[in-house]
């Protein structure tokens, strides 16, 4: 059932700039992960996405949280009930 998701995760990792990807549900349970992002990051990612939703009154506006450092950026965004995190190298 999750083979489609697994394929998408593998396709995402083919991008040379991406070193990690992770999907969680709203409770922080991992749906799939690759690379530098793993099971231990699911909780923080889902909580961040939940907290940021209260910054906007527009329900159609899905904010993106970006944790920036010299070594790379971690982007977190919720899409419905699924939260996606991507770890990208700095360009």
Partner 1 sequence: MASINAYILIYCDSALCKSNVFSGSYCCSGYIVAYILCTVVRLITTSTLTQGLERIPDQLGYLVISEDGVLASAGELENDEHTAGVIMQMMRTACRFRLQGAAEPPFKRMSVMLEDYVYTVTVSGQKVFVVKRQNNHREPVVV
Residue ranges binding partner 1 (CB under 8 A): 36, 38, 40-41, 44, 47-48, 51-52, 54-56, 58, 61, 63-72, 74, 87
18/12 Cα distance (integer angstroms): 7
Tell the smallest beta-carbon distance from residue 37 to partner 1 (Å): 8
- Residue 20 corresponds to which tokens in the numbers above? 């990690």
Tell the smallest beta-carbon distance from residue 63 to partner 1 (Å): 5
Pick 36 or 82: Cβ nearer partner 1? 36
Q: How many residues does the chain have?
A: 91
36/41 Cα distance (integer angstroms): 10
**Cβ proximity of 38 and 47 under 8 Å:** no
Pick 5 or 17: Cβ nearer partner 1? 17
Pick 34 or 41: Cβ nearer partner 1? 41
Q: Which stretches of 1-91 are DSSP H helices? A: 3-13, 42-52
Pick 13 or 44: Cβ nearer partner 1? 44
């Amino acid at each position: 059932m999750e083979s489609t998701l697994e394929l998408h995760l593998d396709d995402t990792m083919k991008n040379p700039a991406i070193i990690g990807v992770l999907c969680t549900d709203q409770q922080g349970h991992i749906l799939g992960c690759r690379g530098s992002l793993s099971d231990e990051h699911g909780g923080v990612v889902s909580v961040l996405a939940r907290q940021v939703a209260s910054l906007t009154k527009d329900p159609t506006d899905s904010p993106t949280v970006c944790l920036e450092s010299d070594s790379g950026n971690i982007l977190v965004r919720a899409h419905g009930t699924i939260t996606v995190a991507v770890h990208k190298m700095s360009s």
